[in-house]
Amino acid sequence: MYFAGKYGIIILLPVLRRSRKKESKIEDKGRTMKIQIINGPNMNLLGIREPEIYGALTLEEMNRQLAQKGEELDLVLDFYQSNHEGDIIDKIQDCYGRADGIIINPGAYTHYSIAIRDAIAAVGLPTVEVHLSDINSREDFRKVSVIKNVCLKQIWGKGVRSYSEALEFLARKR
C-alpha cells in the first residue's frame, strides 16, 4: 500500500512479527551477542594525533583487530565514531533493543557530558567505558569521568587492549 503526498510517495510495508518460539530461542544463553563500539571526538585521527599517547594504529586498523577478537568470542560488532555529542547520544539510544552491550570511548566528553551519561543510563545496556591512554596519570581534568558510574566497568591505559578486555568482559556476561 502506498500514499502520494506533499513529500512524495510513502510506501507502507507490512510488519513482520516473530513467533514466541523464535523469541525464546533468541534469549538462549550462549547466543551471539551484538556489541556496539562507540568512539567519540578525535578518534578518527588515531595514528596521527599524539601517537606517543594514543598509539600508531589508525581507527580502521584498531577496528580490524577488534573485529577479529569479536569473531573469536562469537560477538557481532558494530563500529561507530562521531565528533558530535548529539550523534553519539542518538547512536546510544539506537542501541536499545538492537544491541546487547556497548563499549564506549567518549573521548573528551568523558569529563563533562551529562547528556551521554544520561543516554547510557536510559538504555540500560551493559556498558564498558574504555580509554587508550591512562587517564589517571594525565592532566587533572582527564581523571574525572561523569560516565563511569553508569558503566559496569572502566578500562584505561592499555591501548587497543582496553577494548579487547571490554569485549572479553561483556562476553562473560552472556
135 to each of 21, 23, 28, 66, how far by Cα in Å?
46, 41, 37, 21
CA angle (16, 30, 157) in 5-degree steps: 110
Q: Phi/psi of residue 69, each to 5°?
A: -65, -40
Q: State whether CATH 3.50.50.60 applies to domain 30-171.
A: no
Start-to-end C-alpha separation, the chain: 41
Q: What is the mean pLDDT of each run of 10 residues along the chain (174 residues)?
A: 44 38 38 94 92 86 97 98 98 98 97 97 98 83 90 96 98 92
Q: Residue 29's pLDDT is what?
A: 52
Cβ-count burial of 23 within 10 angstroms (0-12 exposed, 13-18 middle, 19+ buried)? Answer: exposed
Catalytic-residue membership of 111: no
For residue range 36-52, list pLDDT tens digits in order: 999 999 999 999 988 88
Indicate which residue of 2, 54, 112, 163 is catalytic. 54
Catalytic-residue membership of 109: no
Indicate which residue of 2, 84, 109, 131 is catalytic. 131
